[in-house]
Chain A
């Protein structure tokens, strides 16, 4: 446990003044019907998001990416660890956070269908936070809401439509417009473009990147689209079963992936060009059982699928070590203790 704590200080030790978000040893366990069993959705993760930075959070479905997002938002009470935003401890639930901090962190959800109230018109959905947080004078609300529609590329006639009458992609655009209402400084984007086609995605991404410059925002960007990450992220963290396995600057992540899971992931990316195919490492076939977060395997949690495992991997949890500048990996092949 102590060793873990040490390594953690090292991953966050570069913590300079320009960290917007610092997450230290965060855990989130969900209880199950069986009192002694927990779903270890997040099992001790630490990372930072710097000012004006795009951090990509990728990894297995069910590895805890959304839970990480919800925990930072204060929608889940975390089991242990701390969340620090601009130097202030915000480990508590959202309802207990100061209102000013709440509006500084916004989220766009994974599932556009369920995050928009079907009873309300799009105009109302976007106007609501403008009113609640007094962003613009009341008389300007509709004007600002319509500007936001424009900003995300939705036609004005959406103002009076209900979410139900929109395509999946259009709904996500509404959610993005809604998140922009409070001019947040940290935006958590939970697969914001996975329901959009590439041409709209391109527009949204360009818009998001411009807004980031303009308003000095940071993004924690959750996605499964590795090619997109390649183009927009500054650093990427990869999660597996509740834990960060590797975190690296983007170029490093793709050019010298260290963790076998990262290699597996990068080699599975579907691409359109032969040129891209050539950049991928040799295909690492996924093998073995995918474990459940209720019964995390002893040792390294990736050992059931790892093609390169050896004895230590079945016994000890590897610690996070620095392998290159700003590049950390949690794998016995790099663990100096091994």
Chain B
């Protein structure tokens, strides 16, 4: 059903480079992503795989070293990569809200929390700019919603006077107070204890459901993804390598990277050997020509080192970018590859 609607966000063949010491980092590598209205997506993957870079490009808030080298991003009818500045401001203020990964960096150290929340409410157009009382009430309400103790006192505080989790909740409160159509949350709950995390996630879930908002949630926690998302997109070194409905992905991960990821999760059963995935992300300066995971993949065979694998549809809306799912590759090669482990 959802699939028949037009996506509210369509990213096609996106390439993003960073200018760095000694050349260019070719980070985002032909990424495709669709998000449908009301759909909740979790974006997971190794640190440095480009999750933040991807979502920042949607809002056009990439640092100046970044260059969008190709592709297109269409959000709710706006061609984001060729948008006029005031149209972009309109999108940022009225249609999309983002919770940034680093709460300390996204709060201004010289203004009080109250001023910062009030300002963002003012510019979102959700309250009358001149009605100071209404704006303040809304700000306090937003903090309250995020289980912030003593919101009135917090409004008068500066960011350094708050704990990590409190700063994070301020950012969430700000995003929730101004949210309308689309929300991007970059690891919103990493600094929160599980009881507050539980409350905040339920709050985000309810609010987005209520307003039929779409959500891209970046998280390192598969448990959080399981709780929040309809669909999980697994990213590796600048690309999405697996995309499936939440249950399906957790039960039947297909891409060797996803399998490694699942095996790295500490389990409450307490018997998990934290093995991790051997090796590390390839250098973005000279990325491998084929599959970017080939350098660490226990199953890699010839094709993997030559050409980037396309997405293979394996049914039930489950897609995997891995040659093990290519029907034209002889079974014998695949079996040998799998037994290599």
Contacts and interface: CB of A to CB of B under 8 A. Distances in A.
A29 B257 CA distance: 47
B149 to A, nearest CB: 4
A276 B223 CA distance: 11
A43 to B, nearest CB: 15
B283 A157 contact: yes
B198 A273 contact: no
A198 B269 contact: no
A231 B266 contact: yes
A272 B156 CA distance: 40
A116 B185 CA distance: 24
Interface in B104-155: 104-105, 147-150, 153
Band of interface residues on B: 35 or more
Nearest to B270: A230
B193 A224 contact: yes
B193 A161 contact: no
Given A168-B47, A269-B194, A225 B266 contact: yes
A227 B197 contact: no
B287 interface: no
B192 A224 contact: yes
A196 B22 CA distance: 26
Contacts of A199: 46, 260-261, 264, 276-277
Contacts of B272: 231
Contacts of A15: none
Most interface-central of A197, A225, A228, A286 (chain B CB within 10 A): A197
B1 interface: no
Interface in B228-273: 250, 260-262, 264-270, 272
B266 A195 contact: no
A: interface residue count bin: 35 or more
A129 interface: no
Contacts of B262: 272
Nearest to B281: A155
A195 B187 contact: yes
Contacts of A194: 190-191
Contacts of A306: none
A59 B164 CA distance: 13
Interface string B164-203: 1110110000000000000000010011111111110000
A34 B52 CA distance: 41
Nearest to B260: A199
A168 B102 contact: yes
A178 B287 CA distance: 28
Contacts of B270: 230-231, 250-251, 254
Nearest to A198: B264
B224 interface: yes
B223 to A, nearest CB: 3
B164 A197 contact: no
Interface string B281-321: 00101000000000000000000000000000000000000
Nearest to A63: B193
Interface string A236-276: 00000000000000110010000000001100111111011
A299 interface: no
Contact of B268 (A155, A170, A254, A286): A254
Interface string A195-211: 11111111101100000
Contacts of A254: 268, 270
Contact of A291 (B63, B149, B197): B149
**7 closest A-B pairs (Cβ-Cβ)?**
A169-B47, A61-B165, A270-B223, A202-B276, A292-B150, A202-B274, A167-B48
6 contacts: A167-B48, A194-B190, A197-B45, A200-B276, A206-B274, A270-B221
